[in-house]
Amino acid sequence: MRADADFFKTPNDVPRHLANGEDRPAGNDNWMGKVNFVEIRSFWHIFRSFDRMWSFLILSLQAMIIIAWNGGTPSDIFDRGVFKQVLSIFITAAILKLCQAILDIILSWKARKNMSLVVKLRYILKLLSAAAWVVILPVTYAYTWENPTGLARTIKSWLGDGQNQPSLYILAVVVYLAPNMLSAMLFLFPVIRRALERSNLKVVTFMMWWSQPRLFVGRGMHEGAFSLFKYTMFWVLLLATKLIVSFYVEIKPLVQPTKDIMKEPIRTFQWHEFFPHANNNIGVVIALWAPIILVYFMDTQIWYAIFSTLIGGIYGACRRLGEIRTLGMLRSRFESLPKAFNQCLIPSDTSKKRGFRAAFSSKPSKTPEGTKEEEKIAARFAQIWNLIITSFREEDLIDNREKDLLLVPYCKDRDMDIIQWPPFLLASKIPIALDMAADSGGKDRDLKKRMKSDPYFTYAIKECYASFKNIIYALVIGPREREVIQKIFNVVDEHIAEDTLIKELNMSNLPTLSKKFIELLDLLQNNNKEDQGQVIILFQDMLEVVTRDIMDIMDEQLSGLMESVHGGNYRRHEGITPLDQQDQLFTKAIDFPVKKTQAWTEKIKRLHLLLTVKESAMDVPTNLDARRRISFFANSLFMSMPSAPKVRQMLPFSVLTPYYTEDVLFSSQALEEQNEDGVSILFYLQKIYPDEWKNFLERVDCKTEEELRETEQSEEELRLWASYRGQTLTRTVRGMMYYRQALVLQAFLDMARDEDLMEGFRAADLLSDESQLLLQCKAITDMKFTYVVSCQQYGIQKRSGDARAQDILRLMTTYPSLRVAYIDEVEEPSKDRNKKIEKVYYSALVKAAVTKPDDPGQKLDQDIYRIKLPGNAMLGEGKPENQNHAIIFTRGEGLQTIDMNQEHYMEETLKMRNLLQEFLKKHDGVRYPSILGVREHIFTGSVSSLAWFMSNQETSFVTIGQRVLANPLRVRFHYGHPDIFDRLFHLTRGGVSKASKIINLSEDIFAGFNSTLREGNVTHHEYMQVGKGRDVGLNQISLFEAKIANGNGEQTLSRDVYRLGHRFDFFRMLSCYYTTIGFYFSTMITVWTVYVFLYGRLYLVLSGLDEALATGKRFIHNEPLQVALASQSFVQLGFLMALPMMMEIGLERGFRTALSDFVLMQLQLASVFFTFSLGTKTHYYGTTLLHGGAEYRATGRGFVVFHAKFAENYRLYSRSHFVKGIELMILLIVYEIFGQSYRGAIAYIFITFSMWFMVVTWLFAPFLFNPSGFEWQKIVDDWTDWNKWISNRGGIGVPPEKSWESWWEKEQEPLRLSGKRGIVLEIVLALRFFIYQYGLVYHLNITTHTKSVLVYCLSWVVIFVILLVMKTVSVGRRRFSAEFQLVFRLIKGLIFITFISIIIILIAIPHMTVQDIFVCILAFMPTGWGLLLIAQAIKPAITGVGLWGSIKALARGYEIIMGLLLFTPIAFLAWFPFVSEFQTRMLFNQAFSRGLQISRILGGHKKDRATRNKE
């Protein structure tokens, strides 16, 4: 920073006594104004910011048209004449440069007073040089032709017909291109470019002055050579493909028809043609080419989707995504898991081999040291694996049985020299082995084959035998008995060593032995003293089974021993040994009841599971979420990640969550409250998560919901259970506090001695709170991790006694290391004598006050810091300031920003220290990362079909989309909130959010822009994921998309996008455009294509040109048009979204799943949803650029199981979808009526199918995706509500939800703020509605014989008469209806009779038909709407004339007609009950569909029960 910067100067006009103190006034009245850039609302910013891209596309189009016109193959460019014509593109380039220079001056005009002279000089010189080239190039070009035509001839005639000088133009072009050649050279050597841009040497800055304004941002942003090569190749291939396809499919096929059309001008028109003698049918050519050219500008977006999908898929596969995606894959790789785990998550002391081969080699090393190392690996793995499984149980994803099957023994049993795997891998192996052995008949081939094919089969048998031995030895303490047992085991071990076990021993009675042993294990689990006798009997029985049935004693030693034990008559008196002698064996030799230890209990439980679980545990865990998480975690261990440092050495980090007024914890009342269908949140959650509900009841040890409500504690547990499944702050805080739990355990594993590790069963759990080691672990963790929740309104909520403040306090007491930051607004006595009290603002940080458990005092919070602010910090949208004011309370070098609709998982938090190491690596060889991107998992997909579409779309963006953006394209920014910021980098560069109101509406992405412009680097990492919730109902989704589209509109105007567009190199600029505002602009062009095509058809059909061309057989123009419209449909139907979605699902869950998901989505009407959202994006992006009006839209994060009223849907979608849908419908109807006589139905259907689909979708999707949208009773209620809304008078204080008038006025607000340009453009756009009337009046039956312009004038007379009559009636109603009611009624009757008479006369004399009446409606309705739009744009003038009341009445009439148009089909469908059934099935998953039907039947009963419970 320069020492002479303004920042360090004290302003001259500040009095000395204020220069230092706190009382200095905040802010200065004389605002300096904009200096370098002015945000002006204009579409031209798209061209100005990305002028190089538009120039490239326009020049390519020009060159392709020239080549296609002169032969049609690219090789024609080598023809001298064609080449000369192609060279004219440089003249176009010069003209575009001049446009850019003029635009720069116009858009920066407001900053002229504050600009430095040097900047002004630069603008003027750029304009002059551009203007000079626009003169020089055409002049020199004219002299390259011997027989010039057109413009070249004119130029020659002005300047004298001198000698031809072809080389002069070439020379001019070379000089013109010199700067471009220089920049191309620098592009190839990014090191030089970076050095030049960063340099502050006077010589260099003077040289760079032309290309780079003197700013501190946007310098030295160029990537390393390899990154440059990758994204350059990506775009070179993409652009080559795009241009080849555009040339052969869109442009070349159109050339011949165009030539045919231009050859023979058409002179017969079906309307009054103002230019009947115009040559070349130029109108037809424009109508034909316009949609094709629009598609040409849009289809790069389609190619980007295809290429990014392919590259993203390849990169994902290289990063080993989806290698373990099913439980089967997890089982097969489980052996190598502990080793991979150790390499990734445990800090390595020695530099052992790591990497690709090490991860796969699961062969144990045979040295004693190696064995010890393996034991340590197993012990550490056990600790962490069990922590993960326990967290699954606490989250109710698995039940107790599954938990037991998944747990690993906490440490290796020293007596058993074997590896112990989790029982879910070994389940059902022992019963199978027993059966196979029993049936073997002395042959062991089958058993060996099975053991060879399934390693876990062998592990299960070995472990079972070792545990059996271990338990028997532990129980038997009598020396005589021990000797017998020793001998028996010796015999068995010898047979095992000689591999003769099955051949030599009689295995058929093995199941009997197993049964006895299981009985023994049951008794050992209970461990009751009374059972001692039974234990002894079981031992005797087992001995008998072994000695008599299995071994059939052949061993002499054993035989002798048995005889001595049984008193010498073992063989002789088989079966008649005296009882008292028999009883002597084992009677006093058993140590029972056993002294229980954790290890003993675990061993018994585990062996019991191995012996008794008959069915295979192939589907453990059954919960889909648990499967997904466990598979992803296992998979991520085989991905490339930095080595983990010790917790002591890891980078410290903080997590920051901004919170406003969302739900913290669901209250009991909110859970019980039923909507109009009788569906409560709790009922809804029980239906969506039935298995988790069952597991929850098992955990709290309750059988039913009623039992839950008996105690306060279980009621509290219920609230938590529901809150962990909503989008609540509690869910987020629990997830983020897993970091602390994980770090404490990791610190323990780092610091524990080997003995602690090996001996310590649940070592971390069993350490007492006072233990020195645990206190040390917690202290280190608290130094490394801080969690701050920035609760903007906490102070206000506390003072007002809001339940949310209590819930936040409860969170602080549950998690003592949680901190809450908020802005406190306090009234203090004023130092100013004129004011008594003034508001003072503090930024405060609080924690829960520490109270002893037996302290009766109330638990409160206590301040840690309180910082006085110069004024209210909330100047922008709120959220950015809420984040930025709390950053000072965070600590460490990393800062993870987390939204309050996110959650984290225990297993993912373990990888945080690896992830933070990425800050220390240069990822592109040039600079360290400033933001680490992390992938998200959208957890709201199961709520409804819409939520599923949204979650799939979002998942593909946060995985494959961002993967490609980060590498190879190097343009990933910051899109949302699991990313980790380099805290110090951003703290010194303006925080993690830009906070200006409106322009920074999408505050997240500006953090990414800011970071990139200031030489930061944003990366993306896929070995860690964070959960995120998304909107789940159509209205919520539309509000969210509207907010994003608004935000993109504002970004288009912003200086950040302008600087990125100019400071990036050409290819990176393309990446930046197509992944930010370009996506929205292309979406808008898609819709424009439909409009331009249909208005072009309207012109051709109504003027009669279409018929003349089609019947003349000279003009077959369908193919390129069909291709263009197919491209448009490709975008419209959401296939653009579906491609990356399918690739990502395919990568991570298999391509068969991806295909079935895609088919299922189509069946659940995903195309309807995507077409509808196309309209949302287009409308809000367009209106933001045109008039502004961007605002933060609260979407609400609840569960959408409620029915939105018709009036609410109408308010939300009337302008964005309904009006446009009706306009397109009228266009299609006119095209159908007046074009059918000479055109085949098939061609019509083929061309207009996607447009009809768009119309129907835009008009009816909100009702189709509205729960209970086709229920008759709801329809009736909606109609009543809509009538009430439309007829209510507005006024001050009446909200838009209550009155149509208030809503209508609010809808026009952006026009008030729009400025002259916006209003003029609005009027120009409204003029399109007058075309219908002009064309259609000449197609009436009465006007077939005349094409005079008088017909059109007469139609306006008719319109004014109708409006006058309406005005008269409304004035009459106000003035006369009270006093002269009879006269007023007579006048109304006369008007009606006159109207009927005129229609009868018109039918009788000039033969007016019913079609004529219909056509008149089609002609006059759009005209009225056009007049309305113009009147709204010039409201002050209309109000001045006193006609605003009439305009309002006309508008209300139109709204009623639109409402009826929409309502009638819905009401008709609601007559049929199956429609409602189908809709519920389509919207919600089946379990809920069933539950919903049941709940309707039981509605009354449930309410009764609820009231009883309350009483």
Three-state secondary structure string covering 93-162: HHHHHHHHHHHHHHHCHHHCCCCCHHHHHHHHHHHHHHHHHHHHHHHHHHCCCCCCCHHHHHHHHHHCCC
- Checking if the pLDDT of 1505 tops 60, the result is no
Interaxial angle between packed helices 190-198 and 225-245, expressed in degrees from 0 to 180 and rounded to the nearest 10: 110
Cα distances from 582 to residues 520, 721, 776, in angstroms, run: 20, 58, 59
Tell whether the torsion through CA atoms of 482, 485, 486 and 487 is positive or negative.
Answer: positive
Average pLDDT over residues 777-797: 94
pLDDT band at 17 (very low <50, low <70, confident <90, very high): very low
* Low-confidence winner among 348-362, 388-402, 1345-1359, 1478-1492 (lowest mean pLDDT): 348-362
Q: Which residue matches tokens 């190097």?
A: 970
The more confident residue out of 1443 and 176 is 176
Which range is least confidently modeled, 615-619, 899-903, 1224-1228, 1320-1324? 615-619
Return the closest-CA partner of residue 972 out of 322, 308, 310. 308
Indicate the SS3 state at residue 1209. Answer: helix
**Sheet containing 1018-1028: order of strands:** 861-868, 837-848, 818-829, 785-791, 653-659, 894-897, 980-982, 931-938, 1018-1028, 902-903
Tell me whether the omega of the peptide bond preceding residue 853 falls within 30 degrees of 0, making it cis: no
Higher-pLDDT residue of 210, 883: 883
Per-residue confidence (pLDDT) for residue 637, from 0 to 100: 95
Q: Report the alpha-carbon distance of residue 1131 to residue 507 in Å, rounded.
A: 69
Lowest mean pLDDT among 127-136, 279-288, 328-337: 279-288
Q: If 0-12 CB within 10 Å is exposed, 13-18 middle and 19+ buried, where does residue 754 land?
A: exposed
Residue 1391: is its pLDDT beyond 70? yes
Q: Which of 230-234, 698-702, 1234-1238, 1330-1334 has the highest mean pLDDT?
A: 230-234
Identify whether the C-beta of residue 581 lies closer than 8 Å to the C-beta of residue 567: yes
**Residue 141, pLDDT score:** 87
Residue position matching structure tokens 């009766």: 856
pLDDT at 1106: 77
Distance of alpha carbon 474 from alpha carbon 1049, whole angstroms: 76
CA dihedral 1201, 1207, 1213, 1219 (to 10 degrees): 150
CB atoms near residue 576 (< 10 Å): 7
What mean pLDDT do residues 203-213 have?
Answer: 80
Q: What is the pLDDT of residue 1483?
A: 81
Question: Cα dihedral angle (1027, 1028, 1033, 1038), rounded to 10 degrees?
Answer: -150
Segment among 194-198, 586-590, 1043-1047 with least mean pLDDT:
586-590
State percent of the chain over pLDDT 70.
Answer: 86
DSSP bridge partners of 931: 981, 1018
List the beta bridge partners of residue 1020.
933
pLDDT, tens digit (0-9, with 9 covering 90-100), for 733-744: 999 999 999 999
Asked if residues 973 and 1009 have their Cβ atoms less than 8 Å apart, the reply is yes
Q: Which residue has the tokens 């466990």?
A: 630
What average pLDDT does range 549-566 have in this prediction? 60
Tokens 């780092």 found at? 750
When pLDDT is averaged across residues 1239-1250 and rounded to a whole number, the result is 76
Lowest mean pLDDT among 2-16, 979-993, 1302-1316, 1416-1430: 2-16
pLDDT for residue 1220 is more than 80: yes
Q: Which two tokens stand for residue 902?
A: 């996110």
Q: What is the DSSP string of 297-366?
A: HHHHHHHHHHHHHHHHHHHHHHTTTTSS-SHHHHHHHGGGHHHHHHHHHS--SS----SHHHHH--PPP-
Q: What single letter denotes the amino acid at residue 1506?
A: A
| 603: confidence class by pLDDT, cuts 50, 70, 90 | confident
Q: Quick check: 571 pLDDT over 50?
A: no
Q: Which residue has the higher pLDDT, 774 or 389?
A: 389
Look up residue 1203 and give its DSSP letter.
Answer: P
What gap in Å lies between CA 699 and CA 696, rounded to an integer? 5
User: Which of 129-143, 545-559, 716-730, 1159-1173 is predicted least confidently?
Assistant: 545-559
Q: Which residue has the tokens 């106000």?
A: 1374
For 1062, the 3-state DSSP assignment is helix
Query: What's the whole-number mean pLDDT along residues 297-309?
Result: 95
pLDDT for position 986: 93
Characterise 788 by phi-psi region: left (phi > 0), alpha (psi -120 to 50), beta (else).
Answer: beta
Task: Tell me the pLDDT band of 416, cut-offs 50, 70 and 90.
Answer: low
Q: CB-based contacts of 528: which residues, under 8 Å, 6+ apart?
A: 593
- Secondary structure letter of residue 704 according to DSSP: S
Mind listing the pLDDT tens digit for each residue in 1261-1318?
999 999 888 988 889 999 999 999 999 887 788 899 999 999 999 999 888 888 888 8
Task: With a cut of 80, say whether residue 1240 has pLDDT above it.
Answer: no
The C-alpha angle 704, 710, 715, rounded to 5 degrees, equals: 85
Measured CA to CA, the distance from residue 1395 to residue 715 in angstroms comes to 71
Q: Angle CA(486)–CA(490)–CA(495) in degrees, nearest 5?
A: 155
The CA dihedral of 276, 280, 286, 292, to the nearest 10 degrees, is: 150
Phi/psi for 842 (5° steps) reads -125, 145
Q: What is the mean pLDDT of residues 1420-1428?
A: 93
pLDDT category at 23 given cuts 50, 70, 90 is: very low
Question: What digits encode the pLDDT tens for the residues 516-546?
Answer: 899 999 988 888 888 888 888 888 888 888 8
Answer with the residue of higher pLDDT: 888 or 78.
888
Cα 1323 to Cα 386, 1081, 1429: the distances in Å are: 68, 22, 7
Q: For the chain, what is the total number of helices (H) and then of strands (E)?
A: 72, 10
Could you give the CA distance from residue 53 to residue 64 in angstroms, rounded to a whole number? 16
3-state secondary structure of 786: strand
622: three-class secondary structure by DSSP: coil
Following DSSP, what letter does each residue of 1107-1174 receive, concatenated?
Answer: HHHHHTT----HHHHHHHHHHHHHHHTTHHHHHHHHHHHHHHH-HHHHHHHHHHHHHTTHHHHHHHHH
pLDDT digits (tens, 9 = 90+) for 25-63: 444 456 677 888 888 989 999 999 999 999 999 999 999
Length of the chain, in residues: 1511
**How distant, in Å, are the alpha carbons of 699, 709, 725, 1303 from that of 693?**
10, 15, 11, 44
Residue 561 has pLDDT above 70, yes or no: no
Question: Has residue 483 got a pLDDT over 80?
Answer: yes
| Range with the poorest average pLDDT among 83-97, 549-563, 798-812, 1433-1447 | 549-563
Q: Is the dihedral of CA 331, 334, 336, 337 positive or negative?
A: positive
* Residue closest to 358 by CA, chosen among 344, 372, 347: 344
β-strand partners of 680: 674
The radius of gyration of the chain's CA atoms, rounded to the nearest angstrom, is: 40
Q: How far is CA 197 from CA 38, 52, 271, 1069, 1362, in A?
A: 24, 20, 62, 17, 68
Q: Facing residues of 106 across strands?
A: none
Asked if 206 and 168 count as a contact pair (C-beta separation under 8 A), the reply is no
874 pLDDT more than 80: yes
The continuous run of DSSP H or E covering 820 comes out as strand 818-829
Identify the three-state secondary structure at position 1192.
Answer: coil
- The pLDDT of residue 858 is 59
Whether 976 and 989 have beta carbons less than 8 Å apart is answered as: no
At a CB cut-off of 8 Å and minimum separation 6, what does 645 contact? 347, 913, 917
